[in-house]
Structure 1
Amino acid sequence: MKSQSNRRNSQNHGQIKKAFWSNALGWLFSLRSMPVLTLLAFLGPVLAGLVSTLLPAFGFLPVIGSTELNYEPWNELFNHPALPKALLNTLFSGLAATILSLILAICFISAWYGTRSFQRVRRILAPILAIPHSALAIGLAFLIAPSGWIVRLFSPWATGWETPPDVAVIHDPIGLTLIFGLIIKETPYLLLMMIAALDQSEAKQRLCLARTLGYKPVAAWVKAVLPIIYRQIRLPIFAVLAFSLSVVDVALILGPTTPPTLSILVLRWFYDPDLSYRTLAAAGAVLQLFVVIGSIALWRFSEILLGKITKQWLVSGKRAFYETAITRLSSTGIKLVIIVFFGSLISIVIWSVTRRWRYPDALPSVWSFQSWSSNFDNLFWTSSTTLTVGIASAFIAVVLVIACLENEKRRGKTTGSGALWLLYFPLMIPQVSFLFGVQVVAIKLGIDGSWLSMIWSHLLFVLPYVFLSLSDPYRCQDDRYISVALSLGVSPAKAFWQVRLPMLVQPIFFALAIGFAVSVAQYLPTLFAGGGRFATLTTEAVNLAASGNRRVIGVYALLQALLPLLIFCAAFWLPGLRFRNRQSLKEN
């Protein structure tokens, strides 16, 4: 009897264990698990990276024999002679670039919204955003350097300069060129975020009502629309602020050098051959995080203060707000941004096919593809790595985002503002503050310098942009199509594959293109996760930017810019080709 009872208990235990694992595996591969798994894959490395950076910042780094927590790295950091100027450069360039980009975006959209000029600008936002920051920075350096294309076009007949002027335009000590380069990229991004916010709210109705009450365009937009949409663009503004304060690749190409910004200083310490600098670098990375958090808190306080100061003016009833001045200045500013952007691209193209271009000739005297042919092997391998990592990370991000959004649809629940904060979390943290820690974790897991580590590190930054680009089209799709399919006896899975996905093919391809462009632009994740074993077009272009060979730099920068543009063209062309006989699907 006792043996039979033990046997039954053993069988029951086995059945319970089998049922448990069956339910666990069923949940793991179900749609309900996707948000949790996505957050774990997305936020887990970031949090682990922060912790792994924080410990060395307080002296705990067993690899160099330091096993006790102490404040020595901070004492060394605060006593470093380059720190005060590096902090000043960081704060000035980051805050100035963010403020000026936001002002220009607000002024332009308030003065020109709804006009043909605005529609023309809107059509070229995607190409501007597709170009990686570092490629644009290289083109800008080619354009405005003392021996750059602008000086060559006006010399010597207009300037009298037979030799390049001795002026520190690139790497100027206060970072004006760095600020200008950031404005060219961040203004279109903020414009796009404002346009998206306008499409999602009652802002258009409020704008129309204000205009019917006699308000001029700028006053109507600033008083009736801006207070409504600002809450929706606050997180993108914070992301721009964090990026501008901690950017590395653009600062390496355009920023001050003696001393550099804080992020460049920290990067130098991380890669110093003396391992004792790792604790100093970790302390600098944590300080960079505090700088970003403090700047965001200061920005939020300024929002509240500005809201109280302007409250009386908002309800004063004044129908105009510097209409002529804002209209002219915003038009000039946007035109300058666009002209410099395309001028930078043309400069890259010219240098990539130049054999001889002596100063002050306006154009090369000898053209050649020698720079392409002599670097073909390295270009092939770096392009292959860029394509592989970019396509893989973008595809994984799209799959995860679609799974999460489909789970929303089937459960009838939409994520709130808290989910958006989680999405923007990696974008509002300086990369240098947690990527070193991510590298430490990858080493402990044995995946450092592997394809998995590379794709995973890129995914951290690709996924937020893919979600933001795909969430609105997915959520706005009419669910009655699915209801009709279900009423005809089709399973939910079959309705998803045969009804929902074909109708969302254009937004999905667009999200893939955005994810790929974001991956191509990643510099620090490739350095830290690649472990020196992988080279992408971005890392090669930034590393070559310090050399004097503009021809080779132009080749890498041009290819770095072309790949995202080609993917965007394919994203627009392929859905139209696939559904060329179905006009409604082509328009979705």
Structure 2
Amino acid sequence: MRRPGLPWAGPAGIVLLAGPVLAGFATTVWPAFQTGYGFTALIQWPGLPRAVLLSLGTGLFSTLAALLLTLLILATLQDRPLFRWVRRSLSPLLAVPHAAAALGFAFLIAPSGWIARALSPWATGWHQPPDLLILNDPWGISLTLGLITKELPFLLIIALAALPPTAARRLHLAASMGYGTAAGFFLTVVPALYPALRLPVLAVLTYGMTNVDMALILGPTTPPPLAVQITRWMTEPGLTRTNLAAAAALLQAALTLAALALWRGGELAVATLGHAITLRGWRMHGLDRMRGAITALALLMGLALTLGILSLGLWSTAGLWPFPDALPRSLTLTAWRNAAPALTATALTPLINATLATAAAMTLTLAWLQAEHRCGWPKLPDLVIYLPLILPQICVLPGLEPAALPLGATGGVASVTAAHLIFVLPYTYLTLSGPFRAGDSRIATVAATLGASEARIFWRLRLPL
């Protein structure tokens, strides 16, 4: 039996979630309006057109490719035994930090990287690293590939959690009408699946356009993507470029909104195309013949991320490793011994911050979901949940500290943990809300009739499920 909900719970949740993000954004962009210098200097910067195109291109292409691969993998592999292995490997791949994934990917594809070493000299004839611009290429290709490799596991996990319970019945019905497995998936399952994927996809698009960590490692440098250039201006000594950085941050937010609007237009165009294909009765059995290629591509993406992480460990212990040897001739722990004193202090702080932020995010998410179920609290609007993910971080983070100063923030562990929580909470809510709400309420009803308390039902039944 539900207890009466609190009428102020919904507005309070919205303010607590959206308030810090909007305050940080307002504080970041406000200097752009104090004088006209920021906008004037931004327009006069010669690298602006290319930086804008890089941000748009890498974000849109990486998101589109990751989404297409996600849907193709689900359409062609979900009924195969291999898919169980793919599903089990997603969580470890998703846990890899973006910067570590980018650095590992760089070690793979660099002219002196593992791929070139494995193919040399027997396949390439190279006895020394080739003079090829692979990393930091001016077109952002290596950055786009790195983003695809990292975001694919995230979208797959979200898609698997959001698959409609009627997916198998829809596929069976499509097959009875002569459609291939993949065509039936795209025409009958995707229309029911995509609404649950829309906001995660938009979050991926926003990250692809505004990321700094992966762009610093894999992206172009002259000029860099706009988010990287904003970071450089923000961190210049003397704060001489604050107005310019604020104007650029506002432009980055406008570009992101334009990309989201363009994506929405693409959704409508694809929906119209799918409707036309259905009316024409095209069965598209050719998609099923792509199963082998999709399998190979999925394995290649997972292998690239896995080998990239392994290469980080190998390079950190490598001694003499001349090109084109595939493996180092000696191993040494010298680098670890030299870095150990600094690593101990450096690693402890982020570990504490991450642990506290994750624990707080899980506690808040589970408490809210339980209050929804038990007390009738309102479901938080999806836009509020995803606001920290859709609004570019480069437009929010610089303003968080000044916005929090009146509240007594000092930049210590509590302040940094709270800043982490703003961006960790949406991912936690996204991960837990679907399974929590999809739980079979009949199990809890039976337990209650047997005398179990609500707390016991939560800890022993609902939470483990």
Identity %: 37
Q: Report if the CA contact (8 A) 1:31-1:406 is conserved.
A: no
Structure 2 residue aligned with 1:463, among 415, 425, 430? 425
**Which residue does 1:266 correspond to in 2?**
230
Q: Report if the CA contact (8 A) 1:482-1:499 is conserved.
A: yes
**Which residue does 1:50 correspond to in 2?**
25
**Which residue does 1:388 correspond to in 2?**
352
Partner SS for 1:323: helix
**Which residue does 1:241 correspond to in 2?**
205
2:129 matches 1:167: no
Q: Report if the CA contact (8 A) 1:239-1:427 is conserved.
A: yes
Partner SS for 1:375: helix
2:240 matches 1:276: yes
Structure 1 residue aligned with 2:14, among 14, 39, 43? 39
Q: Cα offset for 1:360?
A: 2.0
2:385 matches 1:423: yes
Classify 1:306/1:480 alpha carbon distance in 2 versus 1 (closer, same or farther; 3 Å): closer
Separation in 2, partners of 1:399, 1:292: 31
* 185-194 vs 95-104, greater mean Cα deviation: 185-194
2:186 matches 1:211: no
Q: Report if the CA contact (8 A) 1:38-1:400 is conserved.
A: no
Q: Cα offset for 1:160?
A: 2.1
Question: When the two structures are superposed, what TM-score results if normalisation uses the length of structure 1?
Answer: 0.75
Q: Cα offset for 1:463?
A: 0.7
String of CA shifts for 1:122-177, please: whole Å, max 9, x gaps: 12111111111111111111111111111122222332222211111111111100
Q: Cα offset for 1:34?
A: 5.8
Separation in 2, partners of 1:291, 1:477: 40
Partner SS for 2:388: coil
String of CA shifts for 1:445-486, please: whole Å, max 9, x gaps: 341421121001110111111112222332233445555665
Separation in 2, partners of 1:355, 1:347: 14
Q: Report if the CA contact (8 A) 1:473-1:504 is conserved.
A: no
Q: Cα offset for 1:324?
A: 4.7
**Which residue does 2:154 correspond to in 1?**
189
Q: Report if the CA contact (8 A) 1:125-1:188 is conserved.
A: yes
Letter in 2 for 1:260: P
Structure 1 residue aligned with 2:438, among 476, 481, 485? 476
String of CA shifts for 1:301-320, please: whole Å, max 9, x gaps: 12112322332212222222
Structure 1 residue aligned with 2:398, among 436, 441, 444? 436
Classify 1:497/1:310 alpha carbon distance in 2 versus 1 (closer, same or farther; 3 Å): closer
Separation in 1, partners of 2:440, 2:82: 32
Q: Report if the CA contact (8 A) 2:136-2:220 is conserved.
A: yes
String of CA shifts for 1:48-85, please: whole Å, max 9, x gaps: 111112311212xxxxxxxxxx4331111111111111
Alignment of 1:544-563 (within 5 A): none
Classify 1:108/1:496 alpha carbon distance in 2 versus 1 (closer, same or farther; 3 Å): same
Structure 2 residue aligned with 1:74, among 3, 26, 39? 39
Letter in 2 for 1:423: I
Partner SS for 2:30: helix
Q: Cα offset for 1:276?
A: 2.7
**Which residue does 2:366 correspond to in 1?**
402
**Which residue does 2:278 correspond to in 1?**
314
Structure 2 residue aligned with 1:290, among 254, 270, 273? 254
Letter in 2 for 1:104: L
Alignment of 1:94-243 (within 5 A): 94-198=59-163, 200-243=164-207
Q: Report if the CA contact (8 A) 2:73-2:294 is conserved.
A: yes
String of CA shifts for 1:93-121, please: whole Å, max 9, x gaps: 11111111111112221122211122221
Letter in 2 for 1:52: T
Separation in 2, partners of 1:379, 1:502: 40
How many residues of Structure 1 are paired with residues of Structure 2 in the alignment? Answer: 462
Unmatched segments (≥5 aa) in structure 2: none
2:464 matches 1:499: no
Separation in 2, partners of 1:370, 1:272: 34
Q: Report if the CA contact (8 A) 1:57-1:74 is conserved.
A: yes
Partner SS for 2:280: coil
Partner SS for 1:45: helix
Letter in 1 for 2:323: Y
Letter in 2 for 1:344: G
Letter in 2 for 1:176: I
Separation in 2, partners of 1:109, 1:483: 34
**Which residue does 1:357 correspond to in 2?**
321
Separation in 2, partners of 1:502, 1:37: 30
Q: Cα offset for 1:330?
A: 1.8
String of CA shifts for 1:385-442, please: whole Å, max 9, x gaps: 1221111111111111122111111234662xx6111111110111001111112213
Letter in 2 for 1:99: L
Q: Report if the CA contact (8 A) 2:179-2:285 is conserved.
A: no
Q: Report if the CA contact (8 A) 2:180-2:288 is conserved.
A: no
Classify 1:36/1:402 alpha carbon distance in 2 versus 1 (closer, same or farther; 3 Å): farther
Letter in 2 for 1:76: A
Letter in 2 for 1:222: F
Separation in 2, partners of 1:210, 1:368: 59
* 170-179 vs 182-191, greater mean Cα deviation: 182-191
Q: Which has the higher contact order (CA 8 A, sep 6+)?
A: 2
**Which residue does 1:450 correspond to in 2?**
412
Q: Report if the CA contact (8 A) 1:100-1:183 is conserved.
A: yes
Q: Report if the CA contact (8 A) 2:444-2:461 is conserved.
A: no
Letter in 2 for 1:471: S
Letter in 2 for 1:173: P
Classify 1:321/1:483 alpha carbon distance in 2 versus 1 (closer, same or farther; 3 Å): closer
Please tell me whether Structure 1 or Structure 2 has the larger radius of gyration of its CA atoms. Answer: 1
Q: Cα offset for 1:296?
A: 0.4
Q: Report if the CA contact (8 A) 2:317-2:331 is conserved.
A: yes
Q: Cα offset for 1:271?
A: 0.5
Q: Cα offset for 1:328?
A: 3.5
**Which residue does 2:51 correspond to in 1?**
86
Letter in 1 for 2:177: L
Q: Report if the CA contact (8 A) 1:31-1:403 is conserved.
A: no
Separation in 1, partners of 2:107, 2:192: 41
Unmatched segments (≥5 aa) in structure 1: 1-26, 60-69, 507-587
Letter in 2 for 1:445: L
Separation in 1, partners of 2:289, 2:450: 61
Q: Cα offset for 1:265?
A: 0.4
Question: When the two structures are superposed, what TM-score results if normalisation uses the length of structure 2?
Answer: 0.93
